[in-house]
Structure 1
Amino acid sequence: MNRHSAHGKLVRDRIPQIIRDAGEEPVTYEADTEEYQSRLRDKLAEEVAEFLAADEESAPEELADVLEVVRALAGELGVGPDQLEKLREAKAEERGGFADRIVWTGNR
């Protein structure tokens, strides 16, 4: 499934404190850069799967989780949110977005 030991998963920064507030003691460690980048990719797949399985009510929150991971991945690539948006805008300018709902079925 993933490239890491069976132990652990990447969690949001405040999760350990939330666990402490619930009366438990979390066991955590800080991933090195290579592991962090790999676990972020795993987390993206996890969050996308949750979005795809979500009902209409929970879909926006799940999509926000996807965006959080995308922003973290971009940061690891040295791309800030503003630069990421500029890249998206440039691609949309060149190739368009998805608002017209066009489905391509091939060429004649």
Structure 2
Amino acid sequence: MTGWSDATIWTIIVALGVGTFTIRFSFLGLLGDRDLPDWLLRHLRYTAVAILPALVTPMVLWPNATGGQTDPARLTAAILALAVGYWTKNAIATIATGLAALFALQALGV
């Protein structure tokens, strides 16, 4: 175990909760009813495009399920999903293709 007291753990939990609330409130509470400048809205459009690949890439190239070794099934499913996403511009179709390809390739033993 960690050796921390219950009071220390609860203090950490409350501090993290207050910090999370403060971060979210700074955007929603303070800026929620105001119009944002055009330059900021233009940059915010690219947030998902920047964050999603950063979240997915390590899970494709160094998955925990294979001990950090690149898996051909995951790599192939990611490439298929990328192609479908580029072609259709549809997030649901992209996710469904990647999921179906990964399960099919793993079932085939690739």
Structures share a fold, TM > 0.5?
no
After TM superposition, the score normalised by the length of structure 1 is 0.29
Q: Normalised by the size of structure 2, how large is the TM-score?
A: 0.29
Between 1 and 2, higher relative CO (CA 8 Å, sep ≥ 6) is seen in 1
Larger radius of gyration: 2
Name whichever structure is richer in helix by fraction.
2
